[in-house]
Each structure stands twice: as C-alpha cells, then as structure tokens.
C-alpha cells in the first residue's frame, strides 16, 4: 500500500501548488516619491503644453480653411468668367 499513499501525496501536493498559484498575492501600494507640490507643478506644465498644442492645431486648421476658401473663390471666379 505504500505506492498508493505516495501517489495520493503527490496529487495533494500538486493540488496545493496549483491553488497557491491561482490565488493572487496582495500587491503592495507604491508610495509616491513626489511631493504634492511637484505633482501640481507637473500637472500645470502639462496643461499649459496641451493648451499650446491645441492652439497650434486650431491655427493650422484655420489657415488651411482660409487657403481652401481662397482656392474655391478663384475657381468660382474662373467659372463665372468662362460662362460670360
């Protein structure tokens, strides 16, 4: 009967190791090394950079719109002269 007992022990050990792997370990909370003032400063700078980027995108879109309007105006002018 020792063989049956050894087989059941290895099965029990396999089950225990499987269960141990299945249960997630608690993660430690990461402590921030930055102070609140540093975080606020970073967020302020980040916000300003994003505002500038958005303004640049808007300016580019506005300039492209003006160019398209100019091309369309010339196109319409040429068409109206051709009909006349």
- Cα separation of 72 and 84, whole Å? 18
- Cα separation of 72 and 77, whole Å? 8
Count of structural domains within the chain: 1
- For the stretch 57-78, pLDDT in tens is 999 999 999 999 999 999 999 9
* Residue 50, in any domain of the structure: yes
Task: Name the residue range of residue 60's domain.
Answer: 35-84
- For the stretch 17-56, pLDDT in tens is 665 566 566 777 666 677 999 999 999 999 999 999 999 9
> Mean pLDDT over residues 6-10, rounded?
54
pTM for this one?
Answer: 0.51
* Residue 53, in any domain of the structure: yes
């Amino acid at each position: 009967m020792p063989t049956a007992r050894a087989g059941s022990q290895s099965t029990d050990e396999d089950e225990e190791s499987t269960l141990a792997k299945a249960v997630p370990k608690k993660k430690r909370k990461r402590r921030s090394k930055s102070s609140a003032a540093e975080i606020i400063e970073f967020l302020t700078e980040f916000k300003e950079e994003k505002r500038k980027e958005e303004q640049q995108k808007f300016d580019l879109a506005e300039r492209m719109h003006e160019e398209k309007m100019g091309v369309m105006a010339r196109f319409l002018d040429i068409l109206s002269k051709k009909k006349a």
